[in-house]
């Protein structure tokens, strides 16, 4: 769509837009922060002054990530091992955060699982697993953190997707899970607004370089070689685009914004084709069978 590169909107780092130190003294609790979009969101929040705790199942990975984030930002980032499907583990991670930092101001609910499979070949267990990670994991995280977010009059960001805005083939499990997340956030915004708590959703579209894009989209590693004809701004998204959205929603600039879904997709949702969005190479029945087991 955007043939002239001079009209392609650039990737902008949040540190060039927002003042330094706007999150000084704040503490972020982030599930799924060990990699991908949630890691970038955590780094952006930390670069503006916050300390953070990242939560994940793989202790080695989140420990490594926490050190890298601390070194890169000069702020403190601690790992907390937990599987969001189990409330007690999430509660323990919250307790660790309070013991170390004394408060929780911001929460990113970002733990997720995904794979490609048609309804006809998806097992009940595979469907249930994604619901448990995405939707129940979000609920467990909200329940465990809410007393502390109330105390700080803080804010939630829930990481969703754009899959369920239309019927997206081979994504019934994630579409159902993310629709549930959107609903949780909306109810949370209404119920907890009187307590000074805000809740919003960030829904990333085609973000290059992420595991989801690599696994569910084209196998072409160089995003510049992929077709951007259906993205009005003329390029694929970058993790920094999502991170900047998170900085905005947590900032005082968004103090009157709650209960919304902020789509970060370069406008592509408005012109997304109704045909199957995946390359034929990932739609082969034999290939689909190998993807039924979700990667958590």
- Tokens, residue 276: 């199957």
Active-site residue, from 78, 155, 160, 251: 160
Instruction: Please calculate the CA angle 111-172-290 and round it to the nearest 5 degrees.
Output: 80
CA distance 263 to 77: 28
Q: Beta strand pairing status for 77-81 and 106-109?
A: unpaired
Residue 44: which residues within 8 A CB-CB, separation 6 or more?
Answer: 14, 15, 240, 243, 244, 246, 247
CA distance 259 to 225: 37
CA distance 124 to 75: 43
Query: Which of 45, 104, 102, 110 minimizes the C-alpha distance to 84?
Result: 110
Active-site residue, from 178, 199, 240, 258: 178
CA atoms within 13 A of residue 102's CA, in its CB half-sphere: 3
107: Cα separation from own chain's centroid: 11
| Catalytic residue status for 14 | no
| Catalytic residue status for 96 | no
Angle between helical axes of 87-101 and 137-152 (0-180°, round to 10): 30
Catalytic residues: 160, 178
């Amino acid at each position: 769509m955007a043939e002239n590169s001079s009209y392609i909107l650039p990737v902008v780092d949040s540190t060039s837009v927002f003042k330094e130190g706007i999150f000084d003294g704040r503490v972020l609790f982030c599930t799924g922060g060990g990699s991908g979009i949630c890691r970038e969101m955590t780094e952006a929040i930390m670069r503006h002054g916050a300390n953070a705790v990242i939560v994940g199942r793989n202790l080695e990975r989140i420990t490594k990530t926490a050190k890298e984030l601390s070194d890169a930002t000069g702020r403190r980032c601690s790992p907390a091992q937990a599987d969001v499907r189990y409330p007690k583990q999430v509660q323990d991670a919250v307790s660790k955060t309070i013991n170390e930092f004394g408060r929780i101001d911001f929460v990113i609910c970002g733990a997720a699982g995904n794979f490609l499979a048609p309804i006809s070949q998806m097992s009940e267990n595979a469907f249930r697993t994604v619901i448990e990670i995405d939707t129940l994991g979000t609920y467990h995280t909200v329940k465990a953190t809410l007393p502390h977010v109330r105390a700080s009059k803080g804010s939630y960001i829930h990481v969703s997707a754009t899959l369920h805005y239309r019927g997206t083939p081979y994504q019934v499990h994630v579409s159902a899970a993310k629709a549930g997340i959107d609903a949780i956030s909306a109810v949370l915004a209404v119920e907890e607004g009187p307590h000074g708590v805000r809740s919003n959703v960030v829904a990333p579209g085609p973000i290059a370089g992420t595991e989801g894009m690599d696994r569910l989209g084209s196998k072409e590693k160089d995003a510049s070689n992929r077709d951007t004809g259906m993205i009005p701004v003329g390029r694929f998204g970058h993790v920094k685009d999502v991170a900047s959205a998170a900085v905005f929603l947590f900032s005082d600039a968004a103090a009157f914004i709650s209960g919304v879904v902020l789509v970060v997709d370069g406008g592509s949702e408005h012109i997304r084709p109704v045909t199957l969005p995946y390359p034929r190479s990932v739609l082969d029945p034999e290939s689909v069978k190998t993807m039924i087991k979700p990667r958590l």
